[in-house]
Amino acid sequence: MYTTRPLSLYKNAPEAISLPPEGPNSGYLVLQDEESTPTCCFGLCKNPSIKDLPFPQNKLLTIEYHVHSDQGGYHTYDKVYLIPVVNQPLSSNRYYAIKADGKRKGEAYASSKEEDMGTCCFFFPRVRDVKPRPFDPDDIYQQFEFSTKNTCTNSKMLVAQSIAPDGHPPRFLRRHGWEMSGQTPKNFIMGEAHGLDFALRAHLPDFSFPLSQESSNSVVVGKWYCPFMFIKEGTEKDQVQISVFYEMTLEQRWERFYTTQNSCGQANRAINIDVVVPTEMVRIGGNEAMQVEQNDATGVVWFKTIDGNKGAEAEVGLSKLIVERMVWEEERGGWVKGKEKQVRVVKEEEYGGMGTSYGCYVMVESFVLRRNDGSLVLTYDFRHTHQLRGNWEPLCLYKSHPDLLSVPPEGPGSGYLILEDADDVGYITTWSGKKTREPIKDLPFPQNKLLTVEYTSGEDNYVDEAAFIPFVDQLLSSNRYYVIVAKDDDKKAYTSGKKEEEKPKPYCFCGSGIYIPDKPPKTLDSYDIDQQFEIFKRTGESFSARSVDPDRKWYGPFMFVREGTQKEQMERTMFYKLTLEQRWERISACKNGDVGGNTVALTVVVPTEVVRISWTEAIPERDEAKTKNEMGLQVKIGLSLVIIERMTWEQERVGWVHGNEKQVMVARMEKYQGGDSWQKFGCYMLVEQFVLKRLDRSLVLTYDFNHTNRIRCKWE
């Protein structure tokens, strides 16, 4: 686990290079910053040459050598990552050399031994390079010491030698006169990582949160980087393509492990807590994992998880150096491992009064490992059972604290469930009628109760049982719910009908009318807008509901759209119809023969917005888009800024991200978990498309918003 330091620090304070790393199994990564970047052409251009130590790690390094010959010579180029040797100060100038291209990309260069020596055509001894091999931090033949020498022209020359006494570096490092330059690849996004913040860690997270939350908000109290060689997921080649450095953060939170309540009518009594709490827990991609191998021959600790939905396994390996460092950080913070990784917590608390709930929380410190693109790899939880806190609050939380309805969910893909403490089945009354039980009188609706919706039409009384589940990624104050059919064994979701499906229906005394037939319930799809309903509180004890966007369409007067003259527009269409449509669109595909394994490494640059005029891609320019028709003539369509802002607002409120320069790099590593072999792989992205049409239904323009945060993969 490495911390970072700017290269300018060592230029301005050379003595800092001799400082030892902070703690065991750690080191320093040097980041070339603006101040330390060399320039040329009187400071107008950046010079990629690297001529001195220490070497930067946020650069892909190229070692160039000029081979002289009678024909004029040629140049050789070797791309390499130079990572400081762990547990060494930077002044040691010791580095691991990782191959950055070719078949053995991601493997470590190693020195040849005396026994690897061969002979040339005149029987002179000759050093034969050994091939790069899997990384081993304890292998001294994979460690090289660099230094500089003065040439006859008083310039500096970089040289390398093996740490092993009988070692010979590979040829591209062994020969004298090579030069080094650096470039910044796209997957080298590295920030500052200063290790542990002691003051922030000692402060502990804020404890003023409602008991309905299973945990407090997480607080980052430390940050490090781990080179990919210390992490095992897929092949080294795939790892280098996706993430050369992994980000490791230490996060603190309060997590509930015990809860109870004293309902109204109960006398005060003591709470006796007797709970066995696991002191360690590992999750891979959010799923609980177990350690399957303590330490294999290469010094890797392996963790494996089982996906309960698909029965698929995922595994990640951590170098023993990382695991040992995490345990060391926790033990110096007071953590106790416990017998068989668990501790029995015995505690007694007095109730805070009748009609109150109690929760007991333990301090959890989590090491969170993420790839360079921010995607989660693994979390390693350490529960500090010596740090416990209790929390009391009234049962009717949202009645006593209505402002909490506007607290956003904790992170993407989450939401809140309301737990009602009453024993009765709740009733929602939407019309008049006799009620034999106490009805539910207000929002939000509870999720631990089966709700009965009762309404009356004429002399008929209708009763339906349903479960109301709050929208994911929405505030409770939005009053938006999925409505699940309770009597259906498949537990499908109610779906809105469309105005386009309305039909004539004879009424008893009023001739004929119009009605919209109910759609049959469907399997719940959180992305299906027709399965989303907003509930409104009416007068008294009744409610009403509407589809969140029953038609998914809007109308705009011609003044907000520009095509031709206004006179021509008025003659053709006074209003334009704008609809919002969803689809899954493939962004990448491959066949098994193209990959040669069960892991697919995906790196795709996806535009976040695409505009088309009559199905031909257009170029947005300020407030208009233009393209060319089949005859080569330029076609322009203008949209009012009001329309564009509204479309963007609609997208951003459901998670769409604009991206840098209207594009986002999608980097993923997908592993096939099926029993049989696979033939085809496809990766799909959710696209929401605004379609602008004239009233005669002729197409004007489409505006696509690509949701790179919603991606699904399929295997065949």
Express each pLDDT in 408-433 by its tens digit.
Answer: 877 666 788 887 654 333 444 333 33
Q: Decide whether 2-183 matches 427-547 in CATH topology.
A: yes
User: Given pLDDT bands bounded at 50, 70 and 90, which one contains residue 510?
Assistant: very low
Among 469, 479, 476, CA closest to 403: 476
**What value does the mean pLDDT take over residues 123-151?**
90
What's the pLDDT at 81? 97
What's the pLDDT at 436? 39
d(CA 289, CA 282): 5
The alpha carbon dihedral of 430, 432, 433, 437 has a sign of positive
User: Given pLDDT bands bounded at 50, 70 and 90, which one contains residue 79?
Assistant: very high
Report which of residues 247 and 212 the model is more confident about: 247
User: Tokens 């990582």 map to which residue?
Assistant: 193
Task: Tell me the three state secondary structure of residue 145.
Answer: strand
What's the pLDDT at 262? 62
**What value does the mean pLDDT take over residues 700-710?**
91
Tokens of 283: 């999750």
CATH number for the domain whose boundaries are 427-547: 2.80.10
Instruction: Give whole-number Cα distances, 602 to 130, 229, 242, 671, 677, in Å.
Output: 31, 20, 8, 11, 19
What's the pLDDT at 551? 56
d(CA 159, CA 147): 6
What's the pLDDT at 524? 80
What's the pLDDT at 420? 66
Residues 6+ apart with CB under 8 A from 632: none
Among 398, 442, 451, 463, CA closest to 543: 442
Say if residue 508's pLDDT is above 50: no
- In the chain, what percentage of residues exceed pLDDT 70? 83
**What value does the mean pLDDT take over residues 573-577?**
87
The alpha carbon dihedral of 646, 649, 654, 657 has a sign of positive
Say if residue 301's pLDDT is above 90: yes
Report which of residues 271 and 589 the model is more confident about: 589
d(CA 699, CA 692): 6
**What value does the mean pLDDT take over residues 135-141?**
95
Say if residue 628's pLDDT is above 60: no
What's the pLDDT at 627? 53
What's the pLDDT at 102? 92
Say if residue 196's pLDDT is above 90: yes
Count how many residues are written for the chain: 716
User: Tokens 């230490």 map to which residue?
Assistant: 250
What's the pLDDT at 435? 36
d(CA 150, CA 707): 56
What's the pLDDT at 514? 45
**What value does the mean pLDDT take over residues 644-667?**
83
Q: Per mean pLDDT, which of 98-112, 298-312, 556-570 is the most reliable? A: 98-112
Question: For domain 2-183, which architecture applies?
Answer: Trefoil (2.80)
User: Given pLDDT bands bounded at 50, 70 and 90, which one contains residue 355?
Assistant: very low
What's the pLDDT at 150? 85
Report which of residues 8 and 599 the model is more confident about: 8
What's the pLDDT at 457? 65
Average pLDDT, the chain: 83
What are the pLDDT digits (tens) for 276-291?
999 999 999 888 999 8
Report which of residues 410 and 262 the model is more confident about: 410
Among 569, 561, 694, CA closest to 623: 561
What are the pLDDT digits (tens) for 538-556?
766 688 888 876 556 778 7
Of the candidate ranges 208-222, 242-256, 372-386, 524-538, the one whose mean pLDDT is the lowest: 524-538
Say if residue 564's pLDDT is above 50: yes
Chain centroid, CA 62 distance in Å: 32
**What value does the mean pLDDT take over residues 639-654?**
86
d(CA 556, CA 694): 10
What's the pLDDT at 502? 46
Report which of residues 309 and 162 the model is more confident about: 162
Of the candidate ranges 92-101, 156-165, 459-468, 630-639, the one whose mean pLDDT is the lowest: 630-639
Query: Residue 80 is inside which H or E element, if any?
Result: strand 74-84
Among 135, 87, 96, 98, CA closest to 299: 135
**What value does the mean pLDDT take over residues 344-371?**
83
**What value does the mean pLDDT take over residues 262-277?**
70
What's the pLDDT at 351? 64
Cα dihedral: 181, 186, 192, 194 (round 10): -80
Q: What angle do CA 120, 122, 128 make, to 5 degrees?
A: 10
What's the pLDDT at 421? 52
Say if residue 217's pLDDT is above 80: yes
What's the pLDDT at 335? 94
What's the pLDDT at 154? 76
Of the candidate ranges 18-32, 437-451, 490-504, 532-546, the one whose mean pLDDT is the lowest: 490-504
What's the pLDDT at 641? 87
Write down the domain spans for the chain: 2-183, 195-395, 427-547, 553-715
- In the chain, what percentage of residues exceed pLDDT 90? 41
d(CA 367, CA 383): 12
Q: Per mean pLDDT, which of 423-432, 440-449, 616-625 is the most reliable? A: 440-449
Say if residue 267's pLDDT is above 60: no
Tokens of 194: 């200063």
Task: Tell me the three state secondary structure of residue 534.
Answer: strand
Residues 6+ apart with CB under 8 A from 328: 23, 24, 25
User: Given pLDDT bands bounded at 50, 70 and 90, which one contains residue 345?
Assistant: very high
